[in-house]
Amino acid sequence: MGTSFNEQFDQHGTWRREFALQLKLLTEWMKDHELLDAAVQERLHRLETRLRADKIMVAFVAEFSRGKSELINAIFFAGYGRRIMPASAGRTTMCPTEMGFDADVPPCLRLLPIETRKQPQALMEWRMVPEKWTRVDLDVNDPRQLSLALEKVAETLRVTQTEANELGFLQREASEENLVADAQGLVEIPRWRHALINMAHPLLKQGLVILDTPGLNAIGAEPELTVSLIPQAHAVLFLLGADTGVTKSDLSIWREHLVNDLQDKNTRLVVLNKIDTLWDALSSPAQMQAQIERQRASTAEILGIPKEQVMAVSAQKGLVAKVTNDSALLELSCLPALEEALSQRIMGQRQKMLAAAIFKGISDLRTETSRVIHIRQRDLTEQLIELQSLHGKNSAVIKNMRARISQEQAEFDLGGAKIQAVRSVHLKLLREVFSLLGPRSLKKEMLQLTTALQQKGLKLGVKRAYGDTFDRLREKLRLVQSTSSEIQSMLAATFRQLNTEYGFSLQAPTEPSVERHLHDLDLVERGHLQYLGISNIFRLAQPEFANRLVRALATRLRVLHEAALSDIELWSKSASAQLDTQLRERRRNFVRRLEAIDRIQQASGGLGDRIGEIQAQELALNQLNAKLSELTGYLVAATEPKHPRSAPVVETV
């Protein structure tokens, strides 16, 4: 049996921590040798932050009573020896629930009252108002207390049908979860809108986030689930009943909320749960397996995915097997096969993405830092040639050389005005970019969309309003690309001129591309347009719901814009840092050359001593460059966590 998800996630967490430590040591080493300019420091900071804060979200999506909570218990919490998430008969998760770990928050369960749906604030905004949540402290060392506390996510309320409709629980034709009124005319709804569980479970501490989303009504009524949380999950487990196969409401969830043409279907795993209901004492194991395989094939055909993406398990038997240490029952439950699929699909993909980002970051860092070392080496070589030319020369020649160096220094200082003019144009263009993607621009777009949605009557033109909004957002990204290209051309021309006039080795950094952000914008748009189907027309007629949807969109777009601006900011820093570094090194070079001439004039043996010092400095720089290659080479090679290597000792050269 291959590595389980839990085991591989644990290995991934260990690798991330070790890699982050090596990055920190590299940062200190570079600081000791004055190799940290603003751009390099920013790259190191971003890489370290990404490694330490990297999250992996696994979303469990299904209609009610498909066994999501039991599967979560079986995969992640069997070590407690009992059910942690409520999954017994009549006790199931009623509200969307996120499990994760935040070291700054004590272990607790936070619950957002369902009544907050009557207000326009998006879920992300409610997260910023902790006093509006009901908090229950958790004792993670007491499984019984933990289990009892988490049963609150199964709590319900009895309300009138009118109030249920106001809260977003609309009736759907032939839905399995339609609200049924009791003798008093009241219907049962979840008591809580959203739940956040913060606990120091080993996997959660390493960055795993689990999202449990119950039922079609819960998903449809909460825009952020569909347009933000679920699309951003690194893997989605869609649970079905092995005995029922794909029902009408199952198919609605799949088509309306989980797949579209732009999404990677490989991140979707379909789980046929409760295969133990097909175990029959009157059937042979071969017959039972054949029945399961038929269900897998039928499910794959209906959902339009390869059969390999449909896994058949018994979460309940898998949990029992783990708790009782029954290896035979665990094998029958097929849970290990699902864990291995999770391991390969989620962890394998996540590691590749992280490794690619780190590889590029380290490669860029090495290029920029090597450039600084090469500038120092070139300056030393020039000094050495200059000093060697003084052998046997009289004091008048040496004095003339000092005057020439002073004149060069003065001319160089006068050139600062030209460089400052370049900076001014650069900053002006950058301000244009930041205004296009800044908060004021986004707020204006969202206000325009909200106004369109507030028109009376059914929102039959809502897709057009959204389409117009996204067209404008795309145009702004293209304007950003155009302005960036203008800045890039200006930088390239200016750098060539400065290289010619001052012997610099400036190189304009690679222009950032907005293609990735355009693709992300397409995904966001597709998710929203998919959500705006005929089934949600009546919801959109409610102003509070429409406002909440726009706020959810604004939250997602803010993240997208900040990512684009972050790329541009790093690009700008890389260009400015190069210029700052070479200006600083050139000024230091003038100072060192003048000091050398002064020492030679004051002492007859000064020339030989200074030449010896420069040769020693050249040797030290060669060693410094070799050490940089060694350290960054280790980090590049270590981007594959499965093959750990011994890290080199970070020492002073």
Q: Which residues contact 524 (CB under 8 A, 6 or more apart)?
A: 227, 231, 470, 553, 556, 557, 560
DSSP assignment of 408-467: HHHHHHHTHHHHHHHHHHHHHHHHHHHHHHSHHHHHHHHHHHHHHHTSSS--TTHHHHHH
The 3-class SS string of 42-58 reads HHHHHHHHHHHHCCEEE
One-letter identity of residue 26? L
Tokens representing 536?
């949600």
Cβ(20)–Cβ(355) under 8 Å?
Answer: no
Cβ(68)–Cβ(239) under 8 Å?
Answer: yes
Q: Considering the domain boundaries, does residue 430 fall inside one?
A: yes
Cβ(170)–Cβ(539) under 8 Å?
Answer: yes
At residue 312, φ and ψ (nearest 5 deg) are -110, 125
Q: Considering the domain boundaries, does residue 517 fall inside one?
A: yes
* CA neighbor of 351 nearest in space, from 645, 642, 99, 637: 642
Of 570, 587, 602, which marks where a domain is finished?
A: 602
Question: Domain range for residue 381?
Answer: 1-52+355-388+605-653
Residue 303 Cα distances to 123, 215, 246, 250, 484, angstroms = 30, 18, 8, 10, 43
User: What's the pLDDT at 198?
Assistant: 94
User: What's the pLDDT at 265?
Assistant: 65
- Per the structure, the count of domains in the chain is 3
Distance CA 235, CA 350 (A): 10
HSE (side-chain half, CA atoms, 13 Å) at 422: 22
Q: Which residue has the tokens 């999506």?
A: 61
Tokens representing 36?
């940290």
Mean pLDDT per 10-residue interval, the chain, length 653 residues:
66 80 87 84 83 83 87 89 77 84 92 90 87 93 89 90 81 55 85 92 84 75 77 88 88 80 70 90 84 92 91 94 94 91 74 79 85 86 83 78 87 77 79 90 92 70 87 95 90 87 84 92 85 66 77 90 91 86 86 83 70 87 88 77 44 39
At residue 113, φ and ψ (nearest 5 deg) are -55, 145
Regarding whether 70 and 40 lie in a shared domain, the answer is: no
Total count of residues recorded for the chain: 653
* CA neighbor of 543 nearest in space, from 451, 442, 460, 466: 451
What's the CATH code of the domain at 153? 3.40.50.300
* CA neighbor of 629 nearest in space, from 16, 21, 29: 29
Regarding whether 539 and 458 lie in a shared domain, the answer is: yes
Q: Considering the domain boundaries, does residue 74 fall inside one?
A: yes
142-145 long-range contacts, CB within 8 A, separation 24+: 143/80, 143/81, 143/82, 143/84, 144/82
Tokens representing 184?
């008093």
Distance CA 323, CA 328 (A): 13
Regarding whether 198 and 98 lie in a shared domain, the answer is: yes
Across 182-213, b (16+ Cβ under 10 Å) vs e yields eeeebbbbbbbbbbbbbbebebbebbbbbbbb
One-letter identity of residue 611? I
Regarding whether 103 and 3 lie in a shared domain, the answer is: no
Regarding whether 417 and 312 lie in a shared domain, the answer is: no
Distance CA 574, CA 44 (A): 13
Regarding whether 289 and 362 lie in a shared domain, the answer is: no
The 3-class SS string of 577-594 reads HHHHHHHHHHHHHHHHHH
Q: Considering the domain boundaries, does residue 342 fall inside one?
A: no
Distance of CA 226 to the CA centre of its chain: 18
Q: Is residue 508 classed as helix, strand or coil in its secondary structure?
A: coil
* CA neighbor of 59 nearest in space, from 305, 299, 232, 273: 232
Regarding whether 325 and 464 lie in a shared domain, the answer is: no
Tokens representing 316?
């309940």
Cβ(553)–Cβ(227) under 8 Å?
Answer: yes
Distance CA 214, CA 94 (A): 6
Regarding whether 415 and 381 lie in a shared domain, the answer is: no
Cβ(108)–Cβ(137) under 8 Å?
Answer: yes
Tokens representing 151?
């049963």
Q: Which residues contact 582 (CB under 8 A, 6 or more apart)?
A: 375, 504, 505, 506
Regarding whether 203 and 159 lie in a shared domain, the answer is: yes
Q: Considering the domain boundaries, does residue 348 fall inside one?
A: no
Q: Considering the domain boundaries, does residue 188 fall inside one?
A: yes
Regarding whether 614 and 591 lie in a shared domain, the answer is: no
User: What's the pLDDT at 170?
Assistant: 63
At residue 18, φ and ψ (nearest 5 deg) are -65, -40
* CA neighbor of 68 nearest in space, from 89, 85, 82, 81: 85
DSSP assignment of 252-267: HHIIIII--TTS-GGG
Q: Is residue 311 classed as helix, strand or coil in its secondary structure?
A: strand
User: What's the pLDDT at 340?
Assistant: 85
Q: What is the largest CA-CA distance in the chain?
A: 114
Distance CA 254, CA 247 (A): 11
Q: Considering the domain boundaries, does residue 341 fall inside one?
A: no
Angle (nearest 5°) at CA 252 between 248 and 256: 170
Q: Considering the domain boundaries, does residue 253 fall inside one?
A: yes
pTM of the model: 0.77
Regarding whether 73 and 25 lie in a shared domain, the answer is: no
Regarding whether 164 and 213 lie in a shared domain, the answer is: yes
User: What's the pLDDT at 474?
Assistant: 96
